[in-house]
Chain A
């Protein structure tokens, strides 16, 4: 009986802690979104972050998209050719890439690279008193540190997703034509027939949602860091893991609503 009671107490504490953390995250996120809409944007900072967080992610995004596109096309080519459906390969690869794989891969890459960078940088600033110094000098840390990063990532994510989509689709073309001996005309024609503008725009929109999520989670955790180098490492890892999990959940929700 006593054991059951202590377990209940532990569970109760865990639930309370979970909702307290969730509440903090929601309040911080609302503040970031409110400040993004109501305060002047520092475009110099936005451009700096767009370069370091977005432009410098292009290489890894394209490599990832290229190989995922090729691997996916390889499986599709093998199976579709068995059923004599080679003319549909371009359309199937296109739908998969534009609706799902492009935004998801880009989200995963950006969560790993950009989410970790934001969390580590803000956490380091927090433990070295730089965030408090910013406040002491009359600036709101969320407005100064988080809003420009959010705007930059929101700007860059659709571009990264669009690039990943194109490279993924063209990599699929290389496999379909090179290995599957598909007529190049049918690859593009089936994509042209099956893909709609909404598929393309929906994928880009998903990317923006993922970008917002990554910045909100990483910035929130970075600014909550309290305990030295160990805390910086823990919060950085946590930011990447939570961002990844939430991206997969959000991807399912958005896909079921949009497509």
Chain B
């Protein structure tokens, strides 16, 4: 579903991603961990096509991103949903309009759009908040609405940028449950970038540690303690 070869990305003089390789199969769910500023979010933005790599090849659902036009890029992006770290809801739009936003560019009727929005609100546990505005919601609620908006076009791939950061344990668990449910129900391929240990264990089949602009070989959640680099990062050096 996603194949990345020898990816390189730098900002000004700082090399953020340095020859990164990654392969994710359809329906798989992986987590990428690593220290702040190591390039995890940049990797998601490169997969989404929001940033252009300096070098390397990214293939999403059989389409090589560097070989297509901007217009085609926008079409590919419709198959990918992204939950941003801040949820990135549009301030000037209500919850309903935020979720309906991606659907407005489809040929669906107003009634179909309305039903889909209500279905998504139910899915993320936000029924009854249609008329609320982003500034009236808590951090967890905003993330849920952001998730509903990302799912509006039924994407085949979901990218989660720190989905549970800043949330209390109860809200974190509910978001993690949603990620797992989406993968289970709709076979959505998931890439989760996170710092949260609970999120890593609950949402991923494979875990990658990002270091020096590259991904270390993947481990299963149960193998973390057997790998020194992973154990140090996840357990803080405790045996």
Contact = CB atoms under 8 A, between A and B. Distances in A.
Please indicate whether A and B come from the same complex rather than being unrelated chains: yes
Interface of A: 124-125, 128-130, 132-140
B93 to A, nearest CB: 10
Given A130-B88, A130-B90, A136 B82 contact: yes
A120 to B, nearest CB: 12
B50 A137 contact: no
A50 to B, nearest CB: 16
A138 B88 contact: no
A237 to B, nearest CB: 21
A28 to B, nearest CB: 15
B90 A132 contact: no
B102 interface: yes
B48 A136 contact: yes
B84 A132 contact: yes
B184 interface: no
Given A130-B89, A136-B84, A138-B78, 6 more contacts: A129-B85, A129-B88, A133-B82, A133-B90, A136-B48, A138-B77
A115 B78 CA distance: 33
A128 B101 CA distance: 18
Interface in B177-214: none
B75 A136 contact: no
Given A138-B77, A138-B78, A140-B74, A132 B86 contact: no
B50 A136 contact: yes
29 contacts: A124-B91, A125-B91, A128-B86, A129-B84, A129-B85, A130-B88, A130-B90, A130-B91, A132-B45, A132-B84, A132-B88, A133-B88, A133-B89, A135-B77, A136-B50, A136-B77, A136-B80, A137-B77, A137-B101, A137-B149, A138-B74, A138-B75, A138-B77, A138-B78, A138-B105, A139-B74, A139-B105, A140-B70, A140-B74
Interface string B56-87: 00000000000000100011011010101110
Nearest to B101: A137
Contacts of B91: 124-125, 128, 130
Contacts of B105: 138-139
A186 B88 CA distance: 62
Enumerate the 9 nearest inter-chain pairs by beta-carbon distance, A residue then B residue, closest first: A133-B88, A129-B88, A138-B74, A129-B84, A137-B102, A136-B82, A130-B88, A129-B86, A138-B78
Interface residues of B, number: 21
Interface centre among A125, A132, A135, A137 (most CB of B within 10 A): A137
A232 B238 CA distance: 42
A130 B50 CA distance: 12
A148 to B, nearest CB: 13
Contacts of A133: 82, 84, 88-90
Contacts of B84: 129, 132-133, 136
A256 B75 CA distance: 48
Interface centre among B70, B85, B101 (most CB of A within 10 A): B101
B91 to A, nearest CB: 7
A128 B88 contact: yes
A132 B91 CA distance: 14
A79 to B, nearest CB: 51
Contacts of B75: 138
A138 B85 CA distance: 19
Contacts of A132: 45, 50, 84, 88
Contacts of A135: 50, 77
Nearest to B159: A136
Contacts of A125: 90-91
A130 B135 CA distance: 14
A179 B185 CA distance: 82
Nearest to A129: B88
